[in-house]
Amino acid sequence: MKLRCLSALVITVMLFFNITAGKLYPQSFTDPGTPEELAAAMEKAMSDEQALAQTFMLGWVGAEPSPLIIDWIRDRNIGGIKIFGWNTEDTRRLAETVGSLQRLSLGGQFGLPLLVATDQEGGWIRHVKGSTSETPGNMAIGASGYPRDAYLSGYYIGKELAALGINMNFAPTVDLFTNRDSVLIGPRAFGSDPVRAGILGAAFMKGQLAAGVIPTAKHYPGHGDTDLDSHGVLPQISASFEVLWDRELVPYRILAREGLPALMSGHLAFPNTQAADVPASLSSWFLNDVLRGKIGYRGIIITDDLMMNGATTWAGSLSRAAQQALLAGNDIVMLSKTPNLWDPVWTFLVNSMRDDPEFRRRVRDACRRVLTVKFEYLRGEKKVPYIPDLAKLETELPNPEGAAFFLDLAARSVTVVKGGAVGAAAPVIPLKVENAGRVLLAGQYEDFFTLGKAAYPQAASYWYSSSRGTADFAAMARNADTVIFCLSDAGGLPFLRALEPLKKRVIVFSVLSPVYLESVPWADGAIAVYSYARESFAAGFSAILGRIPAGGRLP
């Protein structure tokens, strides 16, 4: 009886593990066991190069997968790929590409699927274009103030990504709207309040997970307190650690407690902290001491694109930046372009694993963490399909339920900043058609004019641009009684200021960041929406007409 039980146990073990060259690893990606156990067994069975490959996430240029990215997946079995905007105009072709690359990966020795990531934050940042939804964005969620709006935004964005086979999203963005001159963050933030940003970020994260997509919060430890762009330079942020702890790090403290599975490290320097001039993405103090030690974060850490100047300039080369990123505690190094198979970024790291035991241990630890996430989220009933079902794309993109929700969100988030019926000496909002007189619409977005004409059918239109002077605009405005001016950035301010001496009724229709409204306090009325999605324009004009209540608050 004991012998029979022992034989059954041996058979079970052999079914669970593939015994090759004295090493044990799961036979199938769907084998039973905890993600941690399976990942540890598989990592031990991998060579150093196989383990290193799991820490690579690569992008490529063009709609079709390049021969190089195919080589990296087939010959190296890398851990993941990154979908950028230049890959995504045709969503059907994108789905076909994702399916073909997953087939290559699944055909590898370990049968591992790829992490397939993109930036689909909502609002302004929408790398997957084509048939996907344009949404009101994070600042609109902050203006509405409802965690359910954040949850459903994450859920419906995730549902659309899942239909395309994309299983990881670099969202939510939990940077704060701290520096009002920032052109990189602005409406990508939920707002300036760190606790609210953390609560809304956690709700967005839960919505993504409900759709089967792995959320990735960014840009740790916070990109909001600078007007510089880390794509081109390394921003220096003067905040002390005490300030960061009570401000920028609050969302991450909340998300870590809620089980955030992935996080992106930013190329940002904080000279008044222990990291000194080292970018946070390459700083062991920021990633290990603070994030893993003090905050208690347990998920994986992914670098922002290492080809950005904010990282490579400091490190001296891409190869050294990648080495330092892994040593500092990142588990995945992300590159927007595909290097050659034997590029120094690969050979330098392979040699470093051979020559430096500490680096080898760190790479293998990173590999195990990546595998744990794959076993946790890329299998089971809720997983994103490896091979997208092309027949369903037409009915799932854009998501029909999501379309109705995003319109509701846009309506809830419209903010009357000035000139509303409540508290205004001479309210100009709502402005009925019969009271508007001759209306001039001035802007830069086609949907602004389309929805504006629907609201005020007799309105004239003026499309302003940097190539046109303000004189002809002022001449046209003299014939109007009301000017509704769409303001999205500093480039529109000279045209808007040309209206001040004309003493016309001026309503500013702010899109994206509302900070530019402060430059025109003389305007009679102002509303704010937070994206240039069609739904946002529809909601804004409905609020101006008085057809919907504008309940949003400046976030």
Q: Which residues are catalytic?
A: 231, 304
Collapsed DSSP state (helix, strand, coil) of residue 430? coil
Cα gap 542→555, rounded to integer Å: 21
> How is residue 436 written in tokens?
């508007």
What are the distances in angstroms from CA 510 to CA 10, 80, 480? Answer: 69, 39, 20
> How is residue 461 written in tokens?
């239109």
Collapsed DSSP state (helix, strand, coil) of residue 263? strand
Beta bridge partners of residue 18, listed in sequence order: 25
What are the distances in angstroms from CA 330 to CA 307, 378, 500? Answer: 15, 20, 53
Cα gap 370→227, rounded to integer Å: 33
CB-count exposure of residue 388 (10 Å: 0-12, 13-18, 19+): buried
Burial call 538-552: b when 16+ CB within 10 Å, e when fewer: bbbbbbbbeebebeb
What are the distances in angstroms from CA 467 to CA 188, 472, 495, 521? Answer: 28, 12, 12, 26
Nearest to 439 by CA among 420, 454, 419: 454
AA identity, residue 311: A
Q: How would you write 190-225 as a 3-class SS string?
A: CCCCHHHHHHHHHHHHHHHHHCCCEEEEEEECCCCC
What are the distances in angstroms from CA 167 to CA 114, 162, 208, 277, 533? Answer: 9, 6, 10, 34, 24
Collapsed DSSP state (helix, strand, coil) of residue 506? strand
Cα gap 362→359, rounded to integer Å: 5
CA dihedral 125, 271, 215, 258 (to 10 degrees): -140
Nearest to 187 by CA among 516, 512, 551, 460: 512
Q: List Cβ neighbours of 422 (8 Å cut-off, separation of 6 or more).
A: none
Q: What angle do CA 75, 76, 81 make, to 5 degrees?
A: 110
- HSE-up (13 A, CA, CB side) for residue 462: 26
Cα gap 360→84, rounded to integer Å: 30
What contacts 24+ positions apart, CB below 8 Å, involve 453-461? 454/541, 455/541, 455/542, 455/544, 455/545, 456/484, 457/433, 459/484
Cα gap 232→313, rounded to integer Å: 10
DSSP secondary structure letter of residue 316: S
